[in-house]
Amino acid sequence: MANVQEVKNQMIQKSEKDGKTTQYKNIQELLKQMAPEIQRALPANLSADRLTRIMLTEIRQNPKLLDASQISLLGAVLTSAQLGLEPGMLGQVYLIPYYNKNTRTVEVQFQIGYKGLIELVRRSGEVTSISAHEVYEKDSFTFEYGIDEKLIHKPLLNGDRGQLIAVYAVAKFRNGGYAFEVMSIDDIEKLRKRSRTPDVGPWVTDYTAMAKKTVLKQLCKYLPIATEVAKAIANDETVKTTISEDMTEISADWIDVPTSDGSGEAAKEENNQ
């Protein structure tokens, strides 16, 4: 016979499952009610039905999204759709649930992935190619800034390449010019710690890709990209709490400085429950 503790555990698990089912149905009902408004906010090549499937797929893959405010979840997905980027296996966009100590709620942060950032930059038309690469301690790597800039990277092909020590990004322009940016892992870590979600999400599961995205964002400051692309990049790591026909125009809750109250750690604790 099952002991008392086993029975309690089974009851708790059933209660949690029933709660998730209710939350899931609430999301479906919200999407159904807001379908006309959602459709007006979508690009012509994307339907509300398609957006709903994307959103529900993300929820099934990350059930913690059900604990987040519905408006921030919908705002993140709509922002992604309007930018022509898709959350999921492509790695273009991440939807990160985190606990906001100020509002005492779980919210969804819209975060552009490495591949999504490259896609946005390529749309500018002024950049013919852009890429980012990792540098390991046993690679042959030299670079110089100045009047005669140069960058030479010869990765070690066989054997252990050692620890990751740097990342760099290179862009070639339509006019034949180029630009590059190099960042050490110490530099990357300083920016990672300024993120609102430094210890959850892609910084944990896809550190190398996030490091390459970080150096790409620094390089983008010097690239001749269109205003629309720059605006899209500015929406990275934001939380939207309003629905609009242009999600990139509305104000967003965003912090780009270290938090003194440890809200990043709070996010980690809440999301690991």
Q: For residue range 133-151, what is the model confidence (pLDDT) as tens digits?
A: 999 999 999 999 998 899 9
| pLDDT score recorded for residue 264 | 41
CA–CA dist 92, 85 (Å, integer):
6
Domain boundaries along the sequence of the chain: 4-113+235-271, 116-234
- Which of 36-40, 191-195, 235-239 is predicted with the least confidence, judged by mean pLDDT? 36-40
Question: What digits encode the pLDDT tens for the residues 149-173?
Answer: 999 999 999 999 999 999 999 999 9
- The H or E element spanning position 268 is helix 263-271
CA–CA dist 9, 31 (Å, integer):
33
109 neighbors 76 (Cβ within 8 angstroms): yes
Report the pLDDT averaged over residues 83-93.
82
Amino acid identity at 85: L
- The H or E element spanning position 256 is none
pTM: 0.73
H helices, E strands: number in the chain: 10, 7
